[in-house]
Structure 1
């Protein structure tokens, strides 16, 4: 938490020194401040969770945006073509995530992705039931969803 506050302060210092009092100016200062903090932490040998988590968050964000683009294109193709290629259904996804936060985040990310919807979680939190618009291969769909779950767990650990 302390490094995050330092990062914000470095962002404000950057804005003040450059005279660019805009959101993009602060974002540039925040990024520059983060790079400085990573360099200082590496030199001092005290890498913290904050300096390790930001690249992980950025990687997860890019991964999820790519998944959104692919699923949007698939749903748009289905809507725009006259043929009916959907194979909807409900599958159960065995969960490795044990915390309520990880399960909730995973379920919401699945629901925000076009073509899939989280329906329910079993009472013992070991199974997530999902409705999918395209179930061509259940194992492949489960593998994709398990990859998303693994990334969520890594992000929260």
Structure 2
């Protein structure tokens, strides 16, 4: 814990040092970038104290964010198209999704990513925390297994890679 606190203090010091040396006008974006680069620079320099998986999780988190942006884009287009056309293609339904995620953070992230995607909403979690109930707006008759597989290989897989 002390090494972690030392690294945070060193990163903050590095941020303000580089900010004062290279600029005279405060820029929030430059300070944020300096803090990020300083923090990971210090971690890289002292990496023999740390588990190397930490450096692999940052690109995974960026990948999860980009995957969410892609899903958000396609779901928004689908909802927009359905709203603007005279015929509605909505076939709403509730899906019982058996989760692999077990910890609070994994379940919370999964439920929030599903809810933040247009056309879907996390409703409830079973008492044994193994099933997530999801309201999906666009479900055709035979698409439920395909939708569950899409969730398993999409959001849940990426969340589990980051948290485990």
- Which of the five TM-score ranges fits, normalised by the shorter chain? 0.7 to 0.9
The higher-RCO structure (CA 8 Å, 6+ apart) is: 2
Q: Spell out, residue by residue over 1:56-103, the C-alpha distance to the aligned partner (whole angstroms, 9 max, x if none).
A: 222211111221111111111111111111111111110111112211
Aligned to 2:55: 51
- Please tell me whether residue 140 in structure 1 is matched to residue 124 in structure 2: no
**Which residue of the partner structure matches residue 60 of structure 1?**
64
Whether the aligned pair in 2 keeps the contact of 1:78 and 1:84 (CA below 8 Å) is: yes
Measure, in 1, the Cα distance between the counterparts of 2:10 and 2:51.
Answer: 15
Say whether the 8 Å CA contact 1:11–1:30 is kept in structure 2: yes
CA distance in 1, matches of 2:78, 2:13: 44
Structure 2: unaligned runs, 5 residues or longer: none
The number of residue pairs the alignment matches comes to 156
Q: Measure the CA separation in 2 of the matches of 1:65 and 1:4.
A: 30
* Deviation beyond 6 Å, 4+ runs, structure 1: none
Query: Which of 149, 152, 162 matches 1:155?
Result: 162
The residue aligned with 2:18 is 14
Gaps of 5+ in 1: none
TM-score normalized by structure 1?
Answer: 0.85
